Amino acid sequence: DAGVTQSPTHLIKTRGQQVTLRCSPKSGHDTVSWYQQALGQGPQFIFQYYEEEERQRGNFPDRFSGHQFPNYSSELNVNALLLGDSALYLCASTREVDYGYTFGSGTRLTVV
Amino acid sequence: RKEVEQDPGPFNVPEGATVAFNCTYSNSASQSFFWYRQDCRKEPKLLMSVYSSGNEDGRFTAQLNRASQYISLLIRDSKLSDSATYLCVVNKGTDSWGKFQFGAGTQVVVTP
């Protein structure tokens, strides 16, 4: 049973560019959340998707947007990249939040 | 004040010893609590949920103190493989379903 899969694993982009990160949730999970983790910090909540809608959002600017597809997979889009967007981006899925989330191995984004 | 605070450590623990550390949270309406562990440059992995009555999973014991708004994790008979960063996770409340807040983590280093 595949867990949460993310692609790509690593990415280098130039400041001002746009990036799309992808996530396939664990089988049986229908809720997907995205997190940003800077070096030495805990993951910061970006947003959560359920039934193809953004249900919750953290304190991230509108440059961060997302989408969830009918098969529950999800994308995270970041426009107008800044150097400060360099981080590990984690996707997490769950069927029931009281049971916690399962995380993917992340996409490490470097903005130069 | 941060919503979820942890002592960053590191806690240097001899193999076989016991280590315990806390995590404080600011939102009294928080409903769900978890401990995750994160190895260097890896994704967080769910260690255990934290229940009001306290719970134990092998060598790990988690406690919740709602009055003082903290959770704790105790590791008995520490193994070298327990070396990791332990992340405290708090679900913010019924109006923020699934909006998990992470602490910055407590680093534990188990030494031979």
pLDDT at position A76 is 98
- The closest of B22, B32, B25 to B3, measured between CA atoms, is B25
Q: Give pLDDT tens digits for B23-69.
A: 999 988 888 899 999 999 899 999 999 988 889 999 999 999 999 99
Element at B25 (helix H, strand E): strand B19-25
Comparing alpha-carbon positions, the chain A residue that sits nearest to B4 is A42
Question: How many CB atoms are closer than 10 A to CB B92?
Answer: 22
Distance from CA of A82 to the nearest CA of B (A): 22
How far is it, in rounded angstroms, from Cα A23 to Cα A35? 12
Does B44 touch chain A if contact means CB atoms closer than 8 Å? Answer: yes
Report the run of H or E that residue B18 belongs to, with start and end.
Answer: none
Mind listing the pLDDT tens digit for each residue in A34-88?
999 998 899 999 999 999 999 889 999 999 999 999 999 999 999 999 999 999 9
Label residue B19 exposed, middle or buried (CB < 10 Å: 0-12, 13-18, 19+): buried
pLDDT of residue B41: 86
Which among B36, B45, B91 is the nearest to A97, CB-wise? Answer: B91
CA distance A5 to A101: 13
- The reported pLDDT for the residue numbered A56 is 86
Give the residue with greater pLDDT, A97 vs B10: B10
Give the model confidence (pLDDT) of A76-86 as tens digits: 999 999 999 99
Nearest to B98 among A56, A90, A103 (CB): A56
* pLDDT value for B102: 92
